[in-house]
Chain A
Amino acid sequence: QSVLTQPPSVSGAPGQRVTISCTGSSSNFGAGSDVHWYQQLPGTAPKLLIYGNNNRPSGVPDRFSGSKSGTSASLAISGLQAEDEADYYCQSYDNTLSAWVFGGGTKLTVL
């Protein structure tokens, strides 16, 4: 059971916009810890998608955006494409655990 809670799955049709939530607590997001997001395509290593709440590394399309407010964060994907089908993980730091933590992951299905 992760301290960062994500929905197990989300889905959307090509071209649509989907959001993936990541719910934390006062010991991580609420304590000021940033959120970062990773995309893991089937059978591959995770890849950085968003860092520092809302920053995209070079090469990541601007269809991907992140936000954080209070004890929650979210990843938005607009103009959904078939190649976006993957697992998505949020990551932060937890003061209580004194450890960097990941959410349980969300599987995105493009219908």
Chain B
Amino acid sequence: EVQLVETGGGLIQPGGSLRLSCAASGFTVSSSYMSWVRQAPGKALEWVSVIYSGGRTYYADSVKGRFTISRDNSKNTLYLQMNSLRAEDTAVYYCARDLGCTSTTCRNKWFDPWGQGTLVTVSS
């Protein structure tokens, strides 16, 4: 069974750092495209970052320069390092596998499956 489990969320002060983990089972992270998507309380979903199987990474403008996506192939785990956290980063963070990429583009990709999410609260 394909499954994703996030950990690492919690309460952090503004300006602080936090690292989220997403342990995968049933498939190989290193040969997959993987994303982080977040959802602020009572708000819509927001794509945050993606890492391609070849290692390329992309970020939403709202987190560029502050967040870093990475993976540990030996642990089959995806990470999101979050620095300089702001109150507006408060959200449930989900990891998800990307599907639908072709050899030339990921424009029409979708996300499946999703992890259960981990809550990050940025507050003093």
- Which of B11-19, B66-74, B75-83, B104-112 forms part of the interface with chain A? B104-112
Chain B: interface residue total (CB-CB under 8 A): 23
Instruction: Tell whether, in the assembled complex, residue A89 and residue B112 are in contact, meaning their CB atoms are under 8 Å apart.
Output: no
B113, CB-defined interface residue at 8 Å: yes
Label chain B's interface by main secondary structure.
strand
Whether A100 contacts B47 in the complex (CB less than 8 A), given A33-B107, A51-B99, A93-B107, comes out as yes
Among the stretches A10-18, A73-81, A102-110, the one at the interface with B is A102-110
Range of interface residues on A (Cβ < 8 Å)? 20 to 34
- A76–B81 alpha-carbon span in the complex (Å): 39
Name 16 A/B residue pairs within 8 A (Cβ), A-sorted. A2-B44, A33-B107, A46-B111, A47-B114, A48-B113, A57-B112, A89-B44, A93-B108, A93-B109, A97-B61, A100-B47, A100-B109, A101-B47, A102-B44, A104-B44, A105-B44
Give A residues with C-beta under 8 Å from B: 2, 33-34, 36, 38, 44-48, 51-52, 57, 89, 91, 93, 97, 99-105
